[in-house]
């Protein structure tokens, strides 16, 4: 893989209606034709998501780039699921493109739970340990022939240098808004942190919306569209985006993360927070997203300075 692959333009996303999904299901899986179809609340960005009956979900990629994950998920999620300590989505059926909808799509079993959020987590340290245990198990899965970083997962598992140009632009645009000098130091530290080049499985988007809770405890991990094999440091970003200081320490200790890997994980968190803050800080309609990104940056800065 090139050190700085072309990330390309922002994907052109398409809308999908429940009536359209109902027709596709009836045409391709007539055994489910009588089941109700309704949108999932906050159904995600990469996919348009719909309930199918009471215990299934249909995921319709919202752009050609996201559709590249469909084959990967059908190939690998049944392999990963038995080796992990928490439920993950396992595909039940794969739909094919039609003149009405241009991409492959999937039917999964519905997994109950509410998305993780700091005020919903019953015990932050227990949550951190459970999440670390899940990621440790994922990293132990045989990575042979697993999907390497690429367009299918926006180069998760590859080098942070993929995002250096975007990050440098964010530094320029956010001067006066954040401590750019400190952010540059942290970014440089992340870029210089070496990886042992041993491929390991990673999820690629360990974020609030993909971590489900039952009664305040981690109960399932969903949305493996960005999964692959490579450098698992991208999965460590959650330490700054969701965990508190005590949980972050427990998380790191449970995973036995060395300093270079931790630095690369910090870099992944920094890149995403800068990108989000850059696109939201001056837009009143995105005030919540801006505040969240600013909080993550403050967590990164404080943890880096206290290390």
Distance from C-alpha of 123 to C-alpha of 130, rounded to nearest angstrom? 11
Distance from C-alpha of 237 to C-alpha of 239, rounded to nearest angstrom? 5
User: What is the 3 state secondary structure string of 76-130?
Assistant: HHHHHHHHCCCCCCCEEEEECCCCCCCCCEEEEECCCCEECCCCCCCCHHHHHHH
Nearest by Cα to 111 from 131, 69, 81, 75: 81
Residue 264 has pLDDT above 70, yes or no: yes
> 3-class SS at 6?
coil
CATH number given to 115-306: 3.90.1200.10
- Indicate the pLDDT class of residue 233, thresholds 50, 70 and 90: very high
Phi, psi of 251 (to 5 degrees): -60, -50
pLDDT in tens, 43-54: 778 899 999 999
Residue 40 has pLDDT above 70, yes or no: yes
Contact 44, 223 (CB under 8 A): yes
Instruction: Give start-end residues of each CATH 3.90.1200.10 domain in the chain.
Output: 115-306
Letter string b/e over residues 176-211, b meaning 16 or more CB atoms within 10 A of that residue's CB: eebebeebeebbebbbebebeeebbbbbbbbbeebb
User: Parallel, antiparallel, or unpaired for β 37-39 and 91-95?
Assistant: unpaired
Total-model pTM: 0.95
The Cβ of residue 279 has, within 10 Å, a number of other Cβ atoms equal to 15
Q: Which tokens go with 171? A: 């530094």
- Indicate the pLDDT class of residue 3, thresholds 50, 70 and 90: very low
Q: Put the strands of the sheet holding 211-214 in their side by side order.
A: 114-115, 211-214, 217-221
β-sheet bridge partners, residue 201: 229
Averaged pLDDT of the chain: 95
Distance from C-alpha of 64 to C-alpha of 66, rounded to nearest angstrom? 5
CATH level 2 (architecture), domain 18-111: 2-Layer Sandwich (3.30)
Nearest by Cα to 231 from 258, 256, 253, 202: 202
Residue 6 has pLDDT above 60, yes or no: no
User: Parallel, antiparallel, or unpaired for β 217-221 and 228-230?
Assistant: unpaired
Residue 303 has pLDDT above 70, yes or no: yes
């Amino acid at each position: 893989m090139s050190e700085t692959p072309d990330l390309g333009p922002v994907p052109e996303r398409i809308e999908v209606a429940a009536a359209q999904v109902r027709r596709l299901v009836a045409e391709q899986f007539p055994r489910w034709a009588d089941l109700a179809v309704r949108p999932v609340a906050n159904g995600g960005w990469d996919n348009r998501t719909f309930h199918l009956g009471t215990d299934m979900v249909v995921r319709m990629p919202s752009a050609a780039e996201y559709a590249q994950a469909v084959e990967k998920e059908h190939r690998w999620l049944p392999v990963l699921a038995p080796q992990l300590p928490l439920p993950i989505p396992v595909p039940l059926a794969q739909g094919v493109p039609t003149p009405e909808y241009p991409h492959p799509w999937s039917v999964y079993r519905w997994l109950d739970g509410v998305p993780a959020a700091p005020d919903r987590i019953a015990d932050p340290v227990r949550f951190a340990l459970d999440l670390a245990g899940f990621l440790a198990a994922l990293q132990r899965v045989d990575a042979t022939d697993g999907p390497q970083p690429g367009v299918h997962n926006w180069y998760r598992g590859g080098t942070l240098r993929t995002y250096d140009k975007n990050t440098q632009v964010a530094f320029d645009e956010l001067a006066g808004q954040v401590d750019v000098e400190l952010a540059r130091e942290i970014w440089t530290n992340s870029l210089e942190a070496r990886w042992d080049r041993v491929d390991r499985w990673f999820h690629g988007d360990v974020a609030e919306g993909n971590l489900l809770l039952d009664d305040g405890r981690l109960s399932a991990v969903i949305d493996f569209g960005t999964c692959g094999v490579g450098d698992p440091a991208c999965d460590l970003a959650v330490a700054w985006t969701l965990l508190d200081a005590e949980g972050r320490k427990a998380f790191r200790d449970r995973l036995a993360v060395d300093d270079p890997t931790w630095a690369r994980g910090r870099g992944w968190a920094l890149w995403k927070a800068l990108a989000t803050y850059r696109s939201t800080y001056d837009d009143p309609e995105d005030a919540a997203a801006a505040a969240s990104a600013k909080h993550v940056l403050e967590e990164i800065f404080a943890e880096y300075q206290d290390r």
